[in-house]
Amino acid sequence: MRVADNTSSWSELLSAIFSNPEKGALFLVLLAGAWRWIRELWREGKDDEHHESLVETLMEENRRLREELRKEKHDHYDE
């Protein structure tokens, strides 16, 4: 009964969309626009994440090199 109700409500929605060109057009345009916007936001988030990880890697590298330099200086004074 519930499946039949769902089917009929979906078919009603589809027939309403297809029998009114403006509703169908609005539905399609909003769907395409929302899809594009979400994709762009997702990509932006991914780029930020990538940028952050690059900065973190560079800082870690910098810390490591400074540590090495400090150690070398220390060894040099010991000699």
Positions that interact with other proteins (CB under 8 A):
18-22, 24-26, 28-30, 32-33, 35-37, 40, 43-44
Q: Whole-number minimum distance, CB 72 to other proteins, in Å?
A: 44
By beta-carbon proximity to other proteins, the closer residue of 20 and 62 is: 20
Cα-Cα-Cα-Cα dihedral of 29, 14, 10, 33, to 10°?
0
By beta-carbon proximity to other proteins, the closer residue of 29 and 59 is: 29
Which whole-number Å values give the CA distances from 75 to 66, 68, 70, 78, in the listed order? 14, 10, 9, 5
